[in-house]
Amino acid sequence: MNAWLVRAVLLGALVVALRTVLGFAMVQWPTQGSWMRMLCLLALLIVIVGWGVLDGRRDRVAHPDPERGSDLTILWLKAAVAGGLGSGAVSWALDFLPRFDLGDNGLLFELTAGASFIVLLIFIPGLIGVGIGRMLAGRRRGNGTPSLTKNPAPAGA
């Protein structure tokens, strides 16, 4: 499976799972909704940034030269779009099941406004994590920047 597809499926499933847990919790404790929403958002952000850090470190170790690294921007963008659209469609379908309270949003909302929020929620923290991971791996190597001259010229040249 493609790397972006794995991220899309797992992060989209995490979004749906957190929305489902939040829906059940809101039915049980309706006055505690604000901190429960923040807790779910924080859990999602920790997973996304953590995965981005792992990607960035792995890429910098594989490609020490910053100019030769993998294009993780497109990978995370594809994962974010597929994860956002997929989680919106699954959430809309799950909302029809009895005892599932996922907001009663229509399909148009879930595939446009809801999905765009999830796309940004996956893409931006993912790239922040990639940047942090590359920076950490670069610091572990030494000064963080590769040498400009691989083979210096002899002193008499």
pLDDT in tens, 50-94: 999 999 999 998 888 877 888 899 999 999 999 999 999 999 999
Widest Cα–Cα separation across the chain: 83
113 DSSP assignment = I
| Residue 152 domain flag | no
152 DSSP assignment = P
pLDDT in tens, 93-148: 998 888 877 778 889 999 999 999 999 999 999 999 999 999 998 777 665 455 44
| Residue 34 domain flag | no
Contacts of 107 (CB under 8 A, 6+ apart): 89, 92
> How many domains does the chain fold into?
1
| Residue 155 domain flag | no
| Residue 25 domain flag | yes
Output the pTM of the full model. Answer: 0.83
Contacts of 101 (CB under 8 A, 6+ apart): 23, 24, 26, 27, 95
Range(s) of the domain holding residue 125: 3-29+40-139
